[in-house]
Structures are given as structure tokens and as C-alpha cells.
Amino acid sequence: EATQLSCQSPHLHLLLELPDVSYFGFVTVSANTDVDSCKEACLKNCSCKAALYRYNSTFSQGDCAMPSQIFSLTNIQNQKLPYNYSTFVKVQKPSAAQSPTQQPRPESAPASLEKKSNLIALIMGLIVAGSLAFTLLIWIYVRVNRKGKRLQEGHDEDGEEGENSLELLPDLPKRFTYEDLKSATENFHVHRKLGGGGFGSVFEGTLGDGTKVAVKRLDRLGQGRKEFLAEVRTMGSTHHVNLVKLMGFCAERSHRLLVYEYMKNGSLDKLIFKRTPETALEWKIRNKIILDIAKGLVYLHEECKKRIAHLDIKPQNILLDDNFNAKLSDFGLAKLMDRDQSHVMTQMRGTRGYMAPEWLSKKITEKADVYSFGVVVLEVVCGRKNLDYSQFEENEHLLQLVKQRAEANQLFELIDKCSEDTQQHGQEAEEMMRTAIWCLHSDPARRPSMSTVVKVLEGVMVMEPISDFSFLVPTATRTPTDAVEVTSAPLLASILSGPR
């Protein structure tokens, strides 16, 4: 029989753990705390009905919620979420002892015998219930410890989908030891750091043979491990001049690292957003970069055995070598699609400002990359971010400005004013912007394929003129603010095409 919680008997309260269980009404009351402090605070608070704990990889640091009412709990064991959750539900142990202040009234012999029988039954029930509760707690303890031990030893929680399955993949890149990469980066020294974001940091490294590399170290477990597996399985079997080469990886205990070819000129955002008239890219280089991005997407969308949607095309994921050849990187969010598959259903992911409108319906095709490409092209030609809150309010959204200038036939006014050379190629720059606008149709079916875009950029095909620009609405005004960077399911590299 369940015992109702009573504030008069706090010494009888205990917390039962429900791992991988969350509550829809999670409201943080204590951030950056450990799980024991969260549980203790709930036990001391009479109105707290459960301690909800949200964390990244360990119980040592996370967020605590203490709802006063619990309506519906959710099992998230098989869901891909950016956090781990555990719920500790407050329950009250029944008291078997009779209160000393209560004095039983004299009863007849039959009534006394009946009460003794009931008391014996009650005691037996309590013993059985206590045994079951003790067994449940032991099972939870063993499971949590086994899970923690597997994480410490570097085992993936998806079983056969974990790191051991990497050994079965063809064309697997070189496997480095952690000590190899620790030495190559001078123990990941801060002066070697090239940047960071998402699930890790990137460091410049030099291998034993003198080869310069970029080493990406994943700083989080959990969802970060799934991104790691997706990247190894995808990049290990894709080979194209406009894709960053994955030279190797490390999966040793809790360490997850990816080793890429070194790209001397870094990411595109540093060259188009942080520039001066002296450092601004000339038009020839901008034009080449845009064409390289388009060719890389053609390979992913049309030249692999299965279509690959990158799903996170943005300047930060476009790297440039010493000759300004552009290459796509960061395939942790990519998705595979069959040739006859119209779309995939997937969780919202990506980066605000670059996400196509269809993300709201979660029905995604490779045309989501076409939209992101259109945004990047406008940023390259205009020399500014699509969302720039340092501008006056009416100029914050680049797409809104493009819509206004396109309707007034004044696109020339948006061309990067830091580059005199780009200004001198104004007509070509305007045509490039019109191609980008074509890629930004709200209806995916009306967007061109990337192979068509390449033909237009190379002058082999002429695009139809656009007279209605009403579809140019910034996605930031209709995309939830929490729609950022959620990892995808791992990809199967065995069905990708070979080198070309």
C-alpha cells in the first residue's frame, strides 16, 4: 500500500532513482551543482516531489530542478538529446511501529485475535515491500555503475554501433594513439589552439614525420561520441578535392579525436567577416571559393551511391588551404538518403540563420543544403553576417535587406564596400547574388540542384529571372532559438562511393 508523503515525517523520506527519465516542466533552480547536492536540497524541501538532474557526462556538474508537482515523466533512453537526465522521485517509507501516544482500547478476545492477525499480515507485507525496494535499489546501483564504468573505459553505449564496429568498415583512416596526438600538439597547448565550437576544440599539430595536421578533440561524451562516429564513418570513405581530408582518428578510453589535413588559411568566416580594405578578398578568389563550395555539395548530393545532406553549411565549416581552395568540413550532423527517398524525418539541427524553412516540419532533403549555400553566397559577396546585431535594427537581417534592394533593383549597394576589386566586378557580383536568391526559395522544390548551380556559375546555363521576392524572409524570425546543433545518427560508410 502506497504511503502518502507527509511533512511531519521527513526522516521517512527517500529518493528512488529513475535513470534516463526526464520531466517536461524542467525549470532550473540550481545550476552547476552536483547530483548529491540536488538530492539533499530536495529532501530538505517539503514541497519538492522529485529531484530532476540534467548533466553532460558525469554527476559532478549539472542543473537541478525541484518541481512541487509531477504530472508526466518521459523515458528518453533512446532519444538523441544534448544532455543526460536522471529523475529521483521522493517516496515515504511506511512506519511499522505504532505511535506510543496512541493507547488501544480494551477489546474482546476475538477482536484482539483478529487485530493480531492483521498486524502480522501488515508486518509481512512491509517485509516483502522492503525486500522489493531493496532489490530495485541494488539493480539501479549496478546499472548506473556499469554505465559509468563503460563511459570511463571508452565503450560506446550503442553496443555494436560503438567504436568496435569501426574496425569492420572499409577504407578506415589511420588510427592514432592518444600519446601520438598529445605529442603532436604539445599536450594541446593553448598557443596551438586554432578554434573551437560544437563538441570540441581544434589544435594545430605536427606528426612525427613533419606533416602538419589539425586535431579536433571532442570535449564532451554522450552526444559528442555520436558526432565522432558519424564523422569517421562518413569522411573515412569520401574523397573529393573540395572535402577536407580525414587523415585519422583516436578512440582510446574516454578520448575521442579526429585528425584532418591542415588548412593554412583557416575558416572562411575569418576572411569575410573580420577584414579591412587591405585584407579583403578580391573578386576572383571570392568567385573561386563559391564555385568550390558548390562542387563539394554536388559530390555529396549527386555523386555518392547514396545522397548525403551535410545539414550545417556555414562559413565556419568551410576551410581554405594556402591556395584558397575551399573544402567542406564537419560532417557530424550529416544524413544519408536513398536515391528514391523523398525526404528524411529528423530532429531540428544546424545553425540559426542558415537553416531552411522546412526544418520546422522536420521533413528534410539535400535542398536544405542548397538554402544554406544561398545564405553563404550572400555573406561572401556582401562581406557581412546574415544576422548582425551590431547593425541598426532595420539592417540586422541580410535577407531582409536583399529583398528590399532586389525589389528596387539596387543589389549593387550591398556589395562589400571594403573590396574595391569586388566593386569593380559589380555586374558579376550582382548575378552571383541573384543565383543565391534562387537558392533561397521557401519551397524546396523551386530551389535548383547544386549541379544546376555549378552550370550557372560556370556560364554554361542561364537562370530564369525572378520577379517575386516575397519568399525572402529571414529564417531567424521563424526558427526556435533552441534549434542549434543536435547530432545525428551515425552514417554507414560502406555504401558511399569510392575515391574520385
Amino acid at 238: T
C-alpha cell at 310: 551535410
Distance, CA of 51 to CA of 252 (rounded, Å): 34
Integer CA distances (angstroms), 205 to 24, 86, 211, 225, 287, in order: 44, 39, 8, 22, 31
Distance, CA of 368 to CA of 488 (rounded, Å): 15
Let me know: does 163 contact 157? Beta carbons within 8 Å. Answer: no
Beta bridge partners of 162: none
Distance, CA of 265 to CA of 274 (rounded, Å): 13
Distance, CA of 328 to CA of 425 (rounded, Å): 26
26-29 own/partner pairs: CB under 8 Å, 24+ apart: 26/52, 26/54, 26/65, 27/65, 27/67, 28/54, 28/63, 28/64, 28/65, 29/64, 29/65, 29/66
Question: Is 219 assigned a catalytic role?
Answer: no
Let me know: does 435 contact 424? Beta carbons within 8 Å. Answer: no
Residues in the chain: 500
Let me know: does 262 contact 213? Beta carbons within 8 Å. Answer: yes
Beta bridge partners of 280: none
The residues, ordered by sequence, that sit 6+ positions from 254 with a Cβ below 8 Å of its Cβ are 151, 152, 153, 154, 221
Annotated binding-site ranges? 216
The residues, ordered by sequence, that sit 6+ positions from 356 with a Cβ below 8 Å of its Cβ are 364, 367, 368, 371, 372, 444, 475
Q: Which of 312, 169, 186 is nearest to 238 (CA)?
A: 169
Distance, CA of 59 to CA of 7 (rounded, Å): 28
List the alpha helices (DSSP H) in 383-419.
Answer: 398-407
In 40-120, DSSP assigns E strands to: 50-55, 62-65, 73-75, 84-92
- Helices vs. strands in the chain: H and E counts, helices first: 11, 19
Q: What is the DSSP string of 229-258?
A: HHHHHHHTT---TTB--EEEEEEETTEEEE
Annotated binding-site ranges for ATP? 216
Distance, CA of 180 to CA of 182 (rounded, Å): 6
Which of 63, 312, 330, 416 is catalytic? The answer is 312
Enzyme catalytic residues: 312
